[in-house]
A and B are shown apart, each in its own frame.
Chain A
Amino acid sequence: MEKVGIVGYCQIKPSMDLQMDRYEAAFKAVRGALDSANLKRKDLTSVVSSTNDFYDGRTISNCFTVDPSGSYLKDETKVEMDGAYAVLYGMMRVLSGNHKLVAVWGGSMASCFPYESTTLLSTDPTFERPTELVNVMTAGAFQMRAYMQKFDVKAEDIAKVAVKNRKNAAKNDFALPESQNAKITVKDVLAAETLSSPVTELMYARPCDGAACILLAPEQQALKIREDPVWITGVGHSQEQYYLGERDLSKSLSMENAAKMAFKMAKIKDPQKDIDVAEIFEHFAHEEPIFSEAIGLCEPGKGTSLSTEINGEIPINPSGGATSGNVLCATGLVRLIEAAKQLRGEAKNHQVAGAKRAIASGQFGFSAQNSILYILEGGKK
């Protein structure tokens, strides 16, 4: 595969109530990414957005963001999933040979709508929706219990993941202020309000407002733009069955497949040895160990015993992960940006020393029905 370069990016600091509208957020993300690479709107050939009609409260929500996102009179499309999938669309455009610069942006305003309730609308409309029992929260709770039951994992072990991510978030300038807590303890996480047992408030990556943008270019063009692009050297994606009652929620088959595909593309044989840092989209704390196991960073059931601190054996979510700001439609995109920052040595207080190869993941659907994983390298002169 020809290499696709990440040549610029921009994150809007997430907020529980962002004091800007969605057009301004989209504009600032795309404009900021272009500025970061000294590029202009005229340099863009294509714009891929990640938004969701239900989250925006209208259909074909991207038609309203054409102007502020720089896609006016350009090739333009939308992915109605996590932003990490929009990056895949962007890559396809680059690899088609037709595009020299693609902006991929995503974002939403969770403060404007009841997210958890909205997810009922993505259930089976005839059998599941009428009983009003399945949404993102109950699905996440089933997933946590299935994982704990299968591997005899304790709620304390899951709480430790939340503690690590909230402490890491405290070091991240771009983290949601409400997620930052340098002094949080396992006891705090377990004592927090139960949202849907066994999930507590502090184990949940609460959706918030924000936006982010990444710029992609083909290899030669990327090297013209800057001498140190971050390279996407592998990508894999996969999807599981829909019905929760049919899936083994104690593991992520979709991530297992995604990781195999991505590692093969990037010629990585031993992820435990070859990966220096991981940015994983965990909607809930328990998803981080489930994904770590699926990716092959450890044996099944051992995800909560991994040394994942910023200075640990395999640092996972040094930024705080999705917990540090779950901007729906942008969360996976931000994982890619955070991984790129690690490779470029720009992560400041949450920098992993000497990171040369990073992975970044996205997900979509109940209990992560879909998974996507990227391998990133480069970023240094």
Chain B
Amino acid sequence: MVKKLIDVAEGIVRADFEYWVGKYMDKFYERLEKQQFIAIKCPSCNKVYFPPRKVCGECFKTIPLENCWVDLATTGTLVNFTATNYSVMERRKKKNEKTTIIGLIKIDGSDTAIIYPVLDVQEKDVKLGMKLDVVWNKKIAGSPGDIKGFKPVGGT
């Protein structure tokens, strides 16, 4: 008996969502376009959120849009990483030649780490706690992809 498979990707409906990121992230992306980092500090607990957000979940309070902004440098510390040859968007069987190193990077002066590629370094040379600096994408569009990744400060 033949096992009949129907590829339902053929019957897909295209339904693009246009999320508004909100006033706080609008400001973040405006700064990103200028190749700068900006974070927000909760006035109740002093936690610095990068990227910024409107509500501090721990305090369960709104962070005001005015007077809470903190300019940050583009450097940070590697707090965790993984290396993989599988891209997140593909079926498992498609394996890449190139290993991507993905890091959790805590930008100096912030309390929340972000997830970006760690560039210009071999997996064996990656060390937790290493200092990293941003690598900007050639094309800047005010979007998460403006940050291409982070590379070790002073090289390896």
Contacts and interface: CB of A to CB of B under 8 A. Distances in A.
Contacts of B51: 127
A142 B80 contact: yes
Contact of B19 (A117, A125, A138, A196): A125
Contacts of B111: 246
Contacts of A114: 90-92
B92 to A, nearest CB: 6
B115 A131 contact: yes
Interface stretch (B37-45, B61-69, B81-89): B81-89
Given A132-B89, A133-B115, A246-B113, A126 B84 contact: no
A145 interface: yes
Contact of A127 (B25, B87, B88, B106): B25
Interface residues of B, number: 37
B115 A245 contact: yes
Contact of A135 (B25, B88, B104, B128): B88
A198 B128 CA distance: 14
A117 B87 CA distance: 9
Interface residues of A, number: 34
A145 B25 contact: no
Given A126-B19, A128-B115, A131-B116, A142 B104 contact: yes
Nearest to A136: B88
Contact of B90 (A57, A117, A130, A196): A117
Interface string B1-32: 00000001000000001010100010000000
Interface string A213-250: 00000000000000000000000000001011110010
A74 B143 CA distance: 48
25 contacts: A116-B86, A116-B88, A117-B88, A120-B88, A127-B25, A127-B144, A131-B145, A133-B88, A133-B102, A133-B115, A133-B116, A135-B88, A138-B84, A142-B81, A142-B82, A142-B104, A145-B81, A146-B80, A194-B83, A196-B86, A198-B82, A244-B113, A245-B113, A245-B115, A246-B112
Interface of A: 57, 114, 116-117, 120, 125-128, 130-135, 137-138, 141-142, 145-146, 149, 194-199, 241, 243-246, 249
Given A128-B144, A245-B104, 18 more contacts: A120-B88, A120-B89, A126-B25, A126-B144, A130-B144, A131-B115, A131-B144, A133-B115, A133-B116, A138-B84, A138-B115, A141-B82, A142-B82, A145-B80, A194-B83, A197-B84, A243-B112, A244-B115
Interface of B: 8, 17, 19, 21, 25, 51, 57, 79-92, 100, 102, 104, 106, 111-117, 123, 128, 143-145
The 5 closest A-B pairs by CB, nearest first: A245-B113, A141-B82, A196-B84, A114-B91, A197-B83
